[in-house]
Amino acid sequence: MNKLLKEIDEIKKQVDAVRPLKNGELKQLKEYFKIGFTYTSNALEGNSIDETETKIILEDGLTIGGKSLREHFEVIGHAEAFDHINKIANCKSITEKDIKKLHLLFYRHIDEANAGKYRKTRVYITGSEHVPPPPKDLRYYMAEFADSLSKLKEENHPVVFSAIAHRQFVGIHPFVDGNGRVARLLMNLILLQAGHLIAIIPPVLRSRYIRALEKAHVKKDDSDFIELICQCVKQTQLDYIRMLK
């Protein structure tokens, strides 16, 4: 793990060396990563809209034949939430209000009544032994989680911090739906605030991603999940450098 983190830090120096980019380059790269992240994050949850179709929806404003209205709203909402984390990337902290805002932006086109609001019913994660807390305890758990972020930040490498925050948040599962996507948005907000590039988890790693989260929740062992996120950050760094060359 330490070797991987050192590699990430070394590649980050190469990334930082080419910054700041020209406005045109920066805009193109942001759009590239927005499309890639929106596609992969939705695909991990079963959305069938592919990367090219995601690009068409976001850049051309067109709809895709044979795809549901909900799938289109998931693309649009996720992209809006991604734009928001870029807007607040210069902030030094993350509040409970920020987390609710991410869910509001992602979910408001799908279910306005529940967007940005904690669930009022119990939820069970399919295929998992982990049972999230009941609705009556969510305010306590989320307040505790938000308060713990500053300490996690102080004690961990930024990439490790982002992975732990992702795992802890999704374990609470505070919203009726969209928790996985908000967890990945939150993770990437943490990375951006630390000056890192985002982590994109491709659908081909879905099984590994789910197994690593399950191990973290049930066996209280974060190691596989942290390693996976580190590898995804490293890959984004390499893609970034490759595109600039």
Please give the average per-residue pLDDT across 83-103, as a whole number. Answer: 97
| pLDDT band per the 50, 70, 90 thresholds, residue 22 | confident
pLDDT given for residue 223 in this prediction: 97
| Distance in angstroms (rounded) separating the CA atoms of residues 54 and 37 | 10
pLDDT for residue 1: 77
Q: What is the mean pLDDT of residues 149-166?
A: 98
pLDDT in tens, 23-74: 888 899 999 999 999 999 999 999 999 999 999 999 999 999 999 999 999 9
Average pLDDT over residues 210-215: 96
Domain of 143, CATH number, reads: 1.10.3290.10
Say how far apart CA 128 and CA 105 lie, in whole Å: 27
Is the distance from CB of 156 to CB of 5 less than 8 angstroms? no
Residue span of the structural domain in which 59 resides: 2-244
Cis peptide leading into residue 158 (ω within 30°): no
> How would residue 3 be classed by pLDDT, with cut points 50, 70 and 90?
very high
At residue 125, the pLDDT reads 84
Which spans in the chain are helix H? Answer: 2-17, 23-43, 51-55, 69-87, 96-107, 138-155, 158-172, 179-193, 206-218, 223-244
**CA 103/CA 109 separation, integer angstroms:** 11
Task: Write down the pLDDT at residue 140.
Answer: 98
Catalytic residue among 84, 103, 166, 173: 173
Relative orientation angle of helices 179-193 and 23-43, to the nearest 10 degrees: 150
The answer on pLDDT for 137 being more than 90 is yes
Is 173 noted as a catalytic residue in this protein?
yes
As for how many domains the chain has, the answer is 1
Q: What is the mean pLDDT of residues 203-208?
A: 98
Look at residues 43, 35, 81, 3 and name the one whose alpha carbon lies nearest to residue 205.
Answer: 43
Cβ–Cβ < 8 Å for 170, 213: yes
- Tell me if 98 sits within 8 A of 181, measured CB to CB: no
pLDDT at 121 over 90: yes
Q: Report whether 100 contacts 92 (CB < 8 A).
A: no
Tell whether the model's pLDDT for residue 245 goes beyond 80. no
Query: In the structure encoding, which two tokens stand for residue 173, read together?
Result: 């599962």
> Is the Cβ–Cβ distance between 39 and 54 less than 8 Å?
yes
Q: What is the pLDDT of residue 182?
A: 98
